[in-house]
Chains A and B, each alone.
Chain A
């Protein structure tokens, strides 16, 4: 079974994947586009953990994957250049990736940095979109076909329908990025808070 889901918050994603396991669905593959492939399983003693790591070299990446696999984790999503890595523990015996405070904190730290840079990127994009697009207040103004509103009959319908997707994009893009910024800020603050609580 394939499922499509979009997550901003890594821990929410992890929780969802583990809830699916308790319902008998084990994720066997996850990709960066939000597509998850699930298999039906009877044994519920499995855990999925989402790790966050970037690698200075292909060499370090190889060491990373080899080490986790030696520990019995199965690599179900991620690559050399993705920071997000999906690990499935098929026997439920050793179900955490981190076993001391320091490394747990370092993990939260990496997440906080990640969300803060995403927040910054989205804020910059939002501001530049609001500055460069002028159609975000009036949808009608987002249609750029000359004399569109004077056209009549099928001529109007064709031009109108043709341009609608583009007009909607011009109208909604700055707003979507603004919502994105808010979502990222909230996630960032959540992890920031968790981090200070751990100190």
Chain B
């Protein structure tokens, strides 16, 4: 199977998808990621916009209705969760290699 264009996820994409397991608006995504990464990742506006545009295009995230019509709120989709699952397995495997555990399947 051919890998999706966005796989493996960049650090930015990874954090955004993880953050959007709860509905958030754009600026709140950045703030949450800053906390999640313990201040290591600070996403700039253009990078976040480009990522949101891309993720919407592939339907990995969707717009959800919010009380504030101007400020758009996003949430991860089932497809997005599936992608996170794929990435989780990939990272698990790499971690197991770090730890020197033999992997037979």
Binding site for B on A (CB under 8 A): 51, 53, 60, 62-64, 66-68, 70-71, 73, 94, 96-100, 102-103, 106-107
Residues on B with C-beta less than 8 A from A97 are 44-47
> Closest residue to B11 on the A side, CB-wise?
A100
Are the C-beta atoms of A106 and B26 separated by less than 8 Å?
A: no
The 3 closest A-B pairs by CB, nearest first: A97-B46, A70-B27, A99-B44
Q: How far is the CA of A68 from the CA of B43 in the complex (A)?
A: 12
Other-chain contact of A99, B27, B47, B70, B72 (Cβ < 8 Å): B47
Q: Is B93 an interface residue (CB 8 A)?
A: no
Residues on A with C-beta less than 8 A from B12 are 99-100, 102-103
Other-chain contact of A73, B11, B45, B47, B70 (Cβ < 8 Å): B45
A37 CB → nearest B CB, Å: 23
A72 CB → nearest B CB, Å: 9
Are the C-beta atoms of A103 and B46 separated by less than 8 Å?
A: yes
Binding site for A on B (CB under 8 A): 10-12, 25-27, 30, 42-53, 70-72
Other-chain contact of A103, B25, B26, B42, B47 (Cβ < 8 Å): B47
Q: How far is the CA of A50 from the CA of B35 in the complex (A)?
A: 29
A110 CB → nearest B CB, Å: 10
Secondary structure of the A contact surface, majority rule? helix
A76 CB → nearest B CB, Å: 15
28 example contacts (A-B, Cβ-Cβ < 8 A) are as follows: A60-B53, A63-B26, A63-B49, A63-B52, A64-B49, A66-B26, A66-B70, A66-B71, A66-B72, A67-B26, A67-B27, A67-B45, A68-B45, A68-B46, A70-B25, A70-B27, A70-B71, A71-B30, A73-B45, A96-B44, A97-B47, A98-B47, A99-B44, A100-B11, A100-B47, A102-B12, A103-B46, A103-B51
> Closest residue to B13 on the A side, CB-wise?
A102
> Closest residue to A52 on the B side, CB-wise?
B46
Residues on A with C-beta less than 8 A from B53 are 60
> Closest residue to B54 on the A side, CB-wise?
A106
Are the C-beta atoms of A98 and B46 separated by less than 8 Å?
A: yes
B22 CB → nearest A CB, Å: 18
Residues on B with C-beta less than 8 A from A103 are 12, 44, 46-47, 50-51
> Closest residue to A110 on the B side, CB-wise?
B50
> Closest residue to B74 on the A side, CB-wise?
A63
B35 CB → nearest A CB, Å: 16
From known contacts A66-B26, A67-B48, infer whether A99 and B43 are also in contact, taking CB-CB under 8 Å.
yes
Q: How far is the CA of A179 from the CA of B101 in the complex (A)?
A: 64
> Closest residue to B28 on the A side, CB-wise?
A70
Q: How far is the CA of A93 from the CA of B12 in the complex (A)?
A: 20
> Closest residue to B56 on the A side, CB-wise?
A60
Are the C-beta atoms of B50 and A106 separated by less than 8 Å?
A: yes
> Closest residue to B41 on the A side, CB-wise?
A99
Residues on B with C-beta less than 8 A from A94 are 42, 44-45
